[in-house]
Structure 1
Amino acid sequence: MAALTPLEISNLLDSKDREIIQLRRQVAWFQRQIFGQKSERRLSGPEGEQGILGEAFSAIPDQSEPNKKTAVAGHVRESKQKPLDGADESALFFDEQKVPVQVVAIANPEIDGLDPADYEVIGEKVSHRLAQRPGSYVILKYVRPVIKRLDTQSISCPVAPVSVVDGSRADVSFIAGMIVDKFAYHQPLYRQHTKLTDSGIKVSRAWLTKLMPSAVALLEPIHDAQLDSIRSSRVRAMDETPIKAGRAGPGKMKAAYFWPVYGEQDEICFLFYPSRAGKHVQDALGLSSPLGAVLQTDGYAAYAQYAKKTGLTHAQCWAHARRKIYESQDMEPGPAAQALDWIGTLYRIESQIREQGLAGAAKQKLRQDQAKPIATQFFAWIEKQFDERGFLPSSPFLGALSYIRERRAGLEVYLDDPDVSIDTNHLERALRVIPMGRKNWLFSWTELGAKHIGIVQSLIVTCRLHDINPYDYFVDVLQRVSQHPASKVHELTPRLWKQHFAANPLRSDLHGVT
């Protein structure tokens, strides 16, 4: 075998170094899955509790040791007597305005055989139990009298109530409940059909699958109005999350994406597009933006290209920057811990802002006075790491620092604009409904069905953001949308609906049934 040249030996060593680093990353990942915490939050734990891959599980320190005991000053606790008027604490776990209460009277055996004149009821004690019926469905039986006037001999009968879906025997309360069960509680229609059958209601599953798109069609103009409101926002956040929608062949589904867009007035829309192509950013937001517009995203290059094309400010996310460092800490724990400490200081300043309830100029001043110097020192520290160590493509930690350095301008936007968040976590929390839904319904059989998912989830999540009960909202707007002026459809978006109609919403006939 021919001897290797010095250059070949150097290349071979470099290749082996990269392979070792990759293998170490894999081992560190497995260690973290078995023994470590999964959160990126920097929570300091007791020394010696981290297991080592390859050790027996019995090698992990015993967690059953007794807790440390701390002596506290003695005190006298006063015992409070419970009133006899029934106002006990057990009544506090439910809302009597929303939950039906069935009273069960319990006889006192001490008065058996006594005349009412022989005793006096001086009070009562009340306790509550949470119960459940097999089904919560109700049949509304409309009885319409047919009358004959004796003077004119004419016969008349009132017309049957009109359903929000023409010709349907579904009450608006059922349609609203079906929507909420499917999209808020992730119960697919086949499960709802089973529940109906078990409750003694015989309808076909096809009836449910036809009823749903008819209801969503009524909500689509409201979704479009909400999207217009988001597009007019000065500060917007955007992301993308995958979904399988539409058949690609026998046993295969197409890979597609939801592109959630979050507006500055706490509104969100889940826009469905068939791919992750960069052109969909322009499709979602358009080419015109308000003066001083800001788009906040992760590091996907499509957003930077859109910002450059439209001239808006591109803010980036510190949580994604922190995640890059977090993923590299197993390889270089010392420097990674330093970087995480720098970023953690920025987040502690944001916590201080929230605790003090600062906004506008006061929020910007605190960021300028405290956060901006920290960020400047952090980026100087990053430059020092590269000056001292050079750039090693195989180093995950230096790769993470390179990611942050390249996005410095976007990461610093929030320091000068109080309306911009430090990260896109508010958007990521809002889009959790999509991966949660995927765990239940797995995929959408058609692309139209995926679009309907986006429409309904846009309204439900926005209801949550504005502390609105989605069921009450849908019962109202499904009835109101057909009689509301098309020019004012924006008033039916959850944010404005809360201002105009939440105090006196439209109800189902079920609301008056006792």
Structure 2
Amino acid sequence: MKTRSSNDLPNDITALKQLVLAQGSQLLEHQQGQAVYQKALSEKQARIQFLEEQIILFKHRQFGHSSEKNTQQVELFDEAEVEVSLSAPDVAQAVEPGQAPATKKAKSGRKPLPQNLPRVRVEHDVVDSDKVCACGCQKSCIGEETSEQLDIIPAVIQVLVHARLKYACKDCESGITIAALPPQPIPKSNASAGLLAHIATAKYQDGLPLYRMEAIFKRLNIHLPRNTQANWMIKGAQLLQPLYNLLNDHLLDSGYVHMDETRVQVLKEPDKLARSLSYMWVRRTGDPNLGDPRQTVVLFDYRASRSASVVDELLGDYQGYLQTDDYVGYHKTGLREGITHLGCMAHARRKFIEAQKVAPSAKGKVSKADMAVSLIKGLYQIESVIKDENPNQRMLVRQEKSVPQLAKLRKWLDKSLIHTPPKSKAGAAMAYLHKNWAKLAAYTKDGRLNIDNNPVENAIRPFAIGRKNWMFSNSQEGAKASAMLYSIIETAKANGLEPYAYLKLLFTKLPSCETVEDVEELLPWNALKLSTQ
């Protein structure tokens, strides 16, 4: 703005007024321009910070360790308020200041081999000359020393020859009678229940793709193409449908369901490109009684989309607790009357850990992300102490210890939220915590509830590992079969059953089932009871 000398100023009062107004207008325009410039600069700086954080986080995900543990994190909240007091009734263990919950240290060294394995005795004797003493007398055997080695025999493949005896009358040479063939899992197929169970366990439990199994069978001089195996898995999954229906009824009646979803690629889907994504939806019952058997159900369901309508379809008229992450597809169902929507504290913690990774604090300094992670750690310390207590005791301890700890976290959040850039990783983590606060704190109101959604995420992990190996499903039928078999295997594991043995039992018994009661006897907890009798 050009400065005028006193000689340049007009002597007329009206002209002076106009000059002052013009300069005021220029000053206002200049200030407005500066404000726009400062706003643009701030937005660019926030964008630069966001991109820098994304780059750091991408590098960490690509090259860093995957654990959420931060070795540089300052331990802030190991004080007595985070601990469970010894005076709390029925709590046998407490956390001392500055210490983690006491756990039994596992013994190091070689563990003994299982006693249920068959033993094959291999004797090693000395030569006859060594059985004669130097004095000339014959030595007597006074005992033995034994050691054990673990041995393995490759899979034994055999052919089951079903011989159906035939009877006829020799006098009239008519009236031929032949023994009936028991119902088979796949009629007119040469696949036994054991073979179907083996292929299903190898793929869906051990993550072995069908083309690798084809090569394994080929080494044994058996021609078993992958497309034949895939068709068997589809037909075997169809046989399991009645059992799945009962498991689904049990889950919807449980009153407490964890839910999550993960991507899956299906090559042949109507109106979709081969590279587009579909989803595997996973539901798991909570542990309302913390007893054995828990009658836990884990169900996988394939759907072509991630739409909120899928949640309504899978839950139907379900009433009770629903625990999920903050994906928007769950929001509408979570607001439905009769449903209490719970959040996942692990997701909230994970966002602050990401903030720690992109902006690590200097040595001796405490960042906002450090504060949040330490406060949340206090909540998990309480859970680690009471995890084996009954629901009533868990409820009492949470009210006494967890609620005050949550109040500390809330107070810190309210103070820090307004001073943190919203587009930074720390700001985004705080916004997530603030937005979901009611759902994240709701677990303290019932001792049956979990602090996070990890039970269902752990159930998804075998699927995610297998997906790295087989990568995609060829068809919708294959994806549905995968969902069915993952459901049965993960439910069996959750109830203490060995997957192969349980699948073989199902493929053997289900073809003969005629009533609902027959199928109910094959539910995992009923099969477990039968195996222990």
Q: Do the structures match in fold with TM over 0.5?
A: yes
Q: Which amino acid aligns with 2:274?
A: K
Task: Give how far 1:348 is off.
Answer: 0.3
Residue 282 of structure 2 aligns with which residue? Answer: 260
Taking the aligned partners of 1:487 and 1:145, their CA distance within structure 2 comes to: 32
Aligned to 2:452, what secondary structure does the other structure show?
coil
1:374-421 alpha-carbon deviations (Å, 9 max, x no partner) = 10121111111135x2x6333321221111111111011101111110
Q: 1:493–1:160: structure 2 CA closer, same or farther, 3 Å change rule?
A: closer
1:183-198 paired onto structure 2 within 5 Å? 183-198=204-219
Q: 1:381–1:7: structure 2 CA closer, same or farther, 3 Å change rule?
A: same
Is 1:338 equivalent to 2:371 in the alignment?
yes
Q: 1:492–1:254: structure 2 CA closer, same or farther, 3 Å change rule?
A: farther
Task: Give how far 1:24 is off.
Answer: 2.9
Q: Which has the higher contact order (CA 8 A, sep 6+)?
A: 2
Residue 492 of structure 1 aligns with which residue? Answer: 522
Pick the aligned partner of 1:382 from 403, 413, 438.
Answer: 413
Residue 106 of structure 2 aligns with which residue? Answer: none
Residue 39 of structure 1 aligns with which residue? Answer: 67
1:276-287 paired onto structure 2 within 5 Å? 276-287=306-317
Aligned to 1:137, what secondary structure does the other structure show?
coil
Q: 1:194–1:466: structure 2 CA closer, same or farther, 3 Å change rule?
A: same
Task: Give how far 1:338 is off.
Answer: 0.6
1:14-413 paired onto structure 2 within 5 Å? 14-29=42-57, 32=60, 37-44=65-72, 92-97=112-117, 101-110=119-128, 120-141=140-161, 163-247=184-268, 252-264=274-286, 265-289=295-319, 293-329=320-356, 330-331=358-359, 333=361, 334-354=367-387, 357-387=388-418, 389=419, 392-413=421-442
Task: Give how far 1:92 is off.
Answer: 2.7
User: What is the TM-score normalised by the length of structure 1?
Assistant: 0.79
CA contact (8 A) 1:346 1:374 kept: yes
Task: Give how far 1:110 is off.
Answer: 3.6
Q: Which amino acid aligns with 2:42?
A: D
Q: 1:171–1:370: structure 2 CA closer, same or farther, 3 Å change rule?
A: same
CA contact (8 A) 1:459 1:493 kept: no
Q: Which amino acid aligns with 1:384?
A: K
Residue 291 of structure 2 aligns with which residue? Answer: none
Aligned to 1:322, what secondary structure does the other structure show?
helix
Residue 512 of structure 1 aligns with which residue? Answer: none
Aligned to 1:93, what secondary structure does the other structure show?
coil
Taking the aligned partners of 1:431 and 1:352, their CA distance within structure 2 comes to: 26
Pick the aligned partner of 1:9 from 24, 31, 37.
Answer: 37
Q: 1:149–1:129: structure 2 CA closer, same or farther, 3 Å change rule?
A: farther
Aligned to 1:295, what secondary structure does the other structure show?
strand
Q: 1:156–1:240: structure 2 CA closer, same or farther, 3 Å change rule?
A: closer
Q: Which amino acid aligns with 1:305?
A: K
1:210-231 alpha-carbon deviations (Å, 9 max, x no partner) = 3222222211211121111111
CA contact (8 A) 1:134 1:199 kept: no
1:121-155 alpha-carbon deviations (Å, 9 max, x no partner) = 44333333334445432233566778899999999
Task: Give how far 1:36 is off.
Answer: 5.2
Taking the aligned partners of 1:200 and 1:94, their CA distance within structure 2 comes to: 33
CA contact (8 A) 1:193 1:205 kept: yes
Q: 1:119–1:203: structure 2 CA closer, same or farther, 3 Å change rule?
A: farther
CA contact (8 A) 1:24 1:331 kept: no
CA contact (8 A) 1:261 1:270 kept: yes
1:143-192 alpha-carbon deviations (Å, 9 max, x no partner) = 67788999999998756665332222222222211211121111222222
Aligned to 1:481, what secondary structure does the other structure show?
helix
Taking the aligned partners of 1:119 and 1:163, their CA distance within structure 2 comes to: 62
Is 1:420 equivalent to 2:449 in the alignment?
yes
RMSD: 3.3
Residue 98 of structure 2 aligns with which residue? Answer: none
Q: Percent identity?
A: 27
CA contact (8 A) 1:91 1:127 kept: no
CA contact (8 A) 1:247 1:254 kept: no
1:181-213 alpha-carbon deviations (Å, 9 max, x no partner) = 121111222222221121132344443333222
Pick the aligned partner of 1:447 from 476, 483, 489.
Answer: 476
CA contact (8 A) 1:135 1:195 kept: no
CA contact (8 A) 1:288 1:310 kept: no
Q: Which amino acid aligns with 1:342?
A: L
CA contact (8 A) 1:462 1:495 kept: no
Taking the aligned partners of 1:232 and 1:384, their CA distance within structure 2 comes to: 42
CA contact (8 A) 1:272 1:454 kept: yes
1:334-384 alpha-carbon deviations (Å, 9 max, x no partner) = 111011111000000001112xx2122111000000000110121111111
Residue 458 of structure 1 aligns with which residue? Answer: 487
Task: Give how far 1:250 is off.
Answer: 11
Equivalent residue pairs, number: 450
Aligned to 2:398, what secondary structure does the other structure show?
helix
1:410-461 alpha-carbon deviations (Å, 9 max, x no partner) = 0111011111100011111111122111111100001111111111111111
1:73-95 alpha-carbon deviations (Å, 9 max, x no partner) = xxxxxxxxxxxxxxxx9893245
Q: 1:220–1:351: structure 2 CA closer, same or farther, 3 Å change rule?
A: same
Q: Based on CA coordinates, which of the two structures has the bigger radius of gyration?
A: 2
Gaps of 5+ in 1: 47-88, 505-514
Residue 479 of structure 1 aligns with which residue? Answer: 508
Taking the aligned partners of 1:469 and 1:459, their CA distance within structure 2 comes to: 11
